[in-house]
Amino acid sequence: MATSDRIHHADVRTESNCVFDVIKDSRSGRHAVLAHSDIRRAISALQSGPVSFCRNNVIACQGDDADYMFMVVSGVVRACKIFQNGDRAVVAFYLPGDLLGWCNNTQSLSIEAATNAVVLFFKRRPLVSMAAHNPSLARLLLDLATKELCRAHEHAALLSRDAKSRVVLFLSELKSRSAGKDRVVLGMSHQDIADHLGLTIETLSRTITSLERSGAIRRAAGRTLLLRDAWSPLRITLT
């Protein structure tokens, strides 16, 4: 790995202080019920603080035992399925506040940092058994799993469409999942996005270029895209 392995302690500290808020925010008030102490107990039960990963570092291996779940504190995390021939599908991206690693049997996906990222580790067993005594935690887990299931379904539906639609819908999803503003920061590489959309980097690049030429988006520095004023997939002709 070319990127150096030094840990960004500054990130860890500042971001980790926000973890509780992240959780609350992503639940849109409905889970304010979930007291900080619940999460504190969960964290202390498994004793693993936030860990920093450099871009492309592996957080959990395809084939490993799936003893942990993960919460993204900062950066972008990807879940990949790696095939025998070395090809790869990026099954999902996770943004700050997302909980991942649901599959309770042998880890079927490789979990990797798509950008430099800070991740919280949760031991699965304690977390799940704590949910048995804590209905609001149980509810939170079910809601998060359900939400991710919906996203996975949308993603699968997206994959049977043409290249332009895939890119447009991907950008829309990213927009709504991040700030919701017209500025979308793609932390991940084109290769990651292409593998997520079932395209090649060349096709992705061409598609983005053509969206730019049609005025739907503008490129900005640092893997950032500016979506046109009234961006909406409905206003762009999809097949």
Partner DNA sequence: TTGCTACGTTGACCTAAATCAAGAGTCTGA
Partner DNA sequence: TCAGACTCTTGATTTAGGTCAACGTAGCAA
Which stretches of the chain bind a copy of itself, using CB under 8 A?
Answer: 79, 81, 83-85, 87, 89, 91-92, 102-104, 108-109, 128, 131-133, 135, 138-139, 141-143, 145-146, 148-150, 152-157, 159-161, 195, 198, 238-239
Distance of CA 69 to the CA centre of its chain: 13
Binder of DNA out of 209, 214, 232, 237 (CB under 7 A): 209
Angle, CA 235 vertex, CA 232 and CA 238 arms, to 5°: 100
- CB 10, min distance to a copy of itself, A: 34
Of the candidate spans 40-48, 124-132, 176-184, 220-228, the one that interacts with DNA by CB under 7 A turns out to be 220-228
Amino acid present at 117: A
Q: Does 200 bind DNA (CB under 7 A)?
A: yes
Q: Closer CB to DNA, residue 26 or residue 189? A: 189
Q: Closer CB to a copy of itself, residue 150 or residue 220? A: 150
Q: Which residues contact 103 (CB under 8 A, 6 or more apart)?
A: 66, 109
Of the candidate spans 13-21, 35-43, 123-131, 160-168, the one that interacts with DNA by CB under 7 A turns out to be 160-168
Binding map of DNA across residues 56-75, x = CB under 7 A, - = no contact: x-------------------
139 contact, one of DNA, a copy of itself, none, CB 5-8 Å limit per kind: a copy of itself
93 bridge partner residues? 78
Q: Closer CB to a copy of itself, residue 36 or residue 153? A: 153
- CB 128, min distance to a copy of itself, A: 7
Strands laid side by side in the 68-74 sheet = 51-53, 117-123, 68-74, 99-100
Rounded Cα–Cα distance for residues 46 and 60 (Å) = 17
Could you tell me the CA-to-CA distances from 20 to 39, 70, 134 in Å, in that order?
A: 8, 14, 17
- Quickly list DSSP for 147-207: HHHHHHHHHHHHTTS-HHHHHHHHHHHHHHHTT-SSEEE--S-HHHHHHHHT--HHHHHHH
Could you tell me the CA-to-CA distances from 200 to 83, 181, 222 in Å, in that order?
A: 16, 27, 21
Q: At what angle do helices 124-133 and 36-46 cross, to 10 degrees?
A: 140
- CB 50, min distance to DNA, A: 22
Q: Does 162 bind DNA (CB under 7 A)?
A: yes
Q: Closer CB to a copy of itself, residue 69 or residue 118? A: 69
- CB 72, min distance to a copy of itself, A: 17
Of the candidate spans 33-41, 93-101, 105-113, 192-200, the one that interacts with DNA by CB under 7 A turns out to be 192-200
Q: Closer CB to DNA, residue 143 or residue 162? A: 162
Q: What is the dihedral of CA 96, 101, 102, 104, to 10 degrees?
A: -160
